[in-house]
Structure 1
Amino acid sequence: MKQKPLKTELHHWWPRTLADHWAAADAMVSVIRPNGTLHRARPGAFGAITNAHHMKMGGPWDSTFEPIFNEPDNEMAAFVRWLGTLEASLALPDQPMVERILPQPLPDERAAQIARVTASLLARSPSIRASIKRTTEYYRRSFGLADPTADKTLIAANQRGLYDAYRKRMMHGRWAILFSDEREFIAGDGFLHNFPASQDALNSGLKLVLPILPTATIVYMSPMQYPSEPRLVTLRLGAEEVERLTAITQVYASDFLFYRDDKPDLSEAFKHGEHRQFQYHGHHWLDPLLDDLSQYNRWGKDGAAGISRRRPYSESLEGNRWLDRFVAQGD
């Protein structure tokens, strides 16, 4: 049977089923560009790349992996409804963190769902594609190729297996949902994470902070040590904490910032129009927060809730700084 040629398609990295939840009261989604230009359109008008997941090798070797994202996209509405059922402590930001964190049940089917949704948004994100492009072109230049440019097919070939690899890795680790009712989150075409753009090296120390709704951000953590329970915690953030996450998101975004009602002030990092990152993906405010979220124990000392003294992300950050100082001394 003769294979039908691949049709030109728009492949969404920010699916319509999610974009709907970023629409304001007038049913329009707002996007800001690095130069400050504001665009408003119906959900689905933004967040897509033409033929991003097609691999056009020629004739019968043409293929696409776009269908693998159908399952997480189709369950997005149900996933958002589930997020709405989660509770978060009413404790204020100046209260002890152990009183602000609230453990939540995470049945196996929900654990699989949050892994699918999160892995799909990570694997097809423009920041992952940009990382693949940089790495591929580096090696092509090293091999002396006259044209080191990585086209869409070459990027897609390296991107193809990431969803399954990320999803399987995310079946282990701890999740947190950060809520806000004082100030809205923003989303972008990049967000803080330290996952490699490769199916390899998915080891401990992984972290991800993904604003998924104007009112909710997904956090994934896999430090070397953490209590096995709870698998999921929630935390309600204050306005100042949301502003800090907004600044972090702008560092990792390149061309798009989505918002619903709270228009963000653009940072200098976002104005550069490229996917940037903190050194070692470490951040002086965020890493201590990830420590608390990952080390929270529902049944700590004397049977009361507690937070372990282990500081995996902060210690990793400080260790990298020490290494940098050591190397600098040897130069």
Structure 2
Amino acid sequence: MARGKNSKNHHWWPVGLQSYWADRAGDVSWIEPNGKIGKKRSVNRKIGFKIHGHTIFRGTVWESNFEGEFDIDNEVHKIIPALQEMKPFGRTPKEFFTLIKMLGKKNRSLRDMCKFYHLEEELHRNLLLLMHSLLIRSPGNRSRYEGYPKMIGLPPDEEIGKANMAQNYQIAKKLCQKGLISNQYFVLMHSPLKKFIFGDGSLDWLTSGLVANRINGRTLLPLTPHLCVYFCTPMSMRSTPNCASFRVAPWIVDWINDITQIYSKDRIFFHGKPPKIADSFRRRQFLEHAEKTDTLIERLDEIVGIKKRRYLFLGPSHSL
């Protein structure tokens, strides 16, 4: 829950979301690039925060505080259960037998494995805003915002970073709450066994479009150890459905987790067994794709109906 001006501990990872990553004792675990593992009790609110991270100072003057703007945090326990109820294809006996038959087809696609839904407007807008809030206030984007002065030969500036963050979130909040929501599509990826990880940075090919006062692009966000959401904005689509749900194979979870490690710098949060550290995470930098393309993203785009620009398989073939 967002605490506004009453607390100096400003969370970039909502405590409500953290609760889904807590073990039976209520602890949330993380691993660092050097392999060191830590854990803390989620309810103590000492994870995923920065002191005065959303307070803009000028000298010794407390000029403004925008922590209270992240009130979408209060909707987490409505959003996540609603998404969990959008079950993947194969849950009913009829769907299960159809799925079994489909597994024998060599030319099946990810789209064939999906069940389709239409997100009603309130859930659509709330989920969209939650995803923007996670991206914009993440340490990864904070670092990028603080680095803007380097474009003109100046050192990074924390206060400029906060100002950029506040401005981008104000635009995002207005668009998510009042703007058009056509040509927006969500793909829900459920993984009941193998678990997703979450980092201090995420694949964000979305929020850069806010400078043009529009929502346009793609993002991939693990929300819980068992649920990851892909969002994109196709050039054209039917008004319904606007959401696909499917159960992902372990190799897809591995691929998404590898992407998470690329975009993370200091901490990877996990539930259960610690992930194997990738070389990208060991570098302790906020890395990114050289180009805004990834074979997995292209396959997720096919679910939505976006035609691929290219279709490359990296390494050995995988089973759907």
What TM-score do you get using the length of structure 2 for normalisation?
Answer: 0.82
Are the aligned partners of 2:190 and 2:247 in contact in 1 as well (CA < 8 Å)? yes
Aligned residue number for residue 253 of structure 1: 264
Moved more, 242-251 or 166-175: 166-175
Moved more, 190-199 or 44-53: 190-199
SS in structure 2 at match of 1:193: strand
Which residue of 274, 288, 302 corresponds with 1:292?
302
Gaps of 5+ in 1: 1-5, 142-147, 296-309, 319-331
CA distance in 1, matches of 2:233, 2:175: 9
SS in structure 1 at match of 2:210: coil
CA distance in 2, matches of 1:60, 1:132: 21
Moved more, 256-265 or 226-235: 226-235
CA distance in 1, matches of 2:166, 2:216: 24
Which residue of 157, 164, 167 corresponds with 1:161?
167
Aligned pair in 2 of structure 1 residues 7, 179: CA closer, same or farther (>3 Å)?
closer
Cα shift at 1:211: 0.4
Cα shift at 1:169: 4.9
Q: Deviations over 1:34-79 (max 9, x none)?
A: 1111001111322111111111125777111110002x11111111
CA distance in 1, matches of 2:218, 2:50: 26
CA distance in 2, matches of 1:149, 1:196: 23
Are the aligned partners of 2:209 and 2:216 in contact in 1 as well (CA < 8 Å)? no
Identity of aligned residues (%): 24
Aligned residue number for residue 85 of structure 1: 85
Q: Deviations over 1:119-161 (max 9, x none)?
A: 111111111111112222222x1xxxxxx23332211111112
Aligned residue number for residue 151 of structure 1: 157
The count of corresponding residues between Structure 1 and Structure 2 is 288
Letter in 1 for 2:18: A
CA distance in 2, matches of 1:205, 1:105: 20
Which residue of 76, 96, 114 corresponds with 1:101?
114
Please list, as runs of the form range in 1=range in 2, the aligned pairs for 1:151-230 lying within 5 A after superposition.
Answer: 151-169=157-175, 171-172=181-182, 173-197=184-208, 199-201=210-212, 206-230=217-241
Cα shift at 1:253: 0.7
SS in structure 1 at match of 2:304: helix
Cα shift at 1:205: 5.8
The answer as to 2:50 corresponding to 1:52 is no
Aligned pair in 2 of structure 1 residues 61, 244: CA closer, same or farther (>3 Å)?
closer
CA distance in 2, matches of 1:53, 1:317: 42
Aligned residue number for residue 244 of structure 2: 233
Moved more, 60-69 or 118-127: 60-69
CA distance in 2, matches of 1:177, 1:255: 27
Which residue of 132, 140, 146 corresponds with 1:127?
140
Are the aligned partners of 1:192 and 1:252 in contact in 2 as well (CA < 8 Å)? yes
SS in structure 2 at match of 1:276: coil
SS in structure 1 at match of 2:219: strand
What TM-score do you get using the length of structure 1 for normalisation?
Answer: 0.80
Give the greater-gyration-radius structure (CA). Answer: 1
Q: Deviations over 1:215-252 (max 9, x none)?
A: 00111101323333211111210111111111111001
Aligned-pair Cα RMSD in Å:
2.4
Letter in 2 for 1:68: E
Gaps of 5+ in 2: 91-98, 313-320
Aligned pair in 2 of structure 1 residues 290, 205: CA closer, same or farther (>3 Å)?
farther
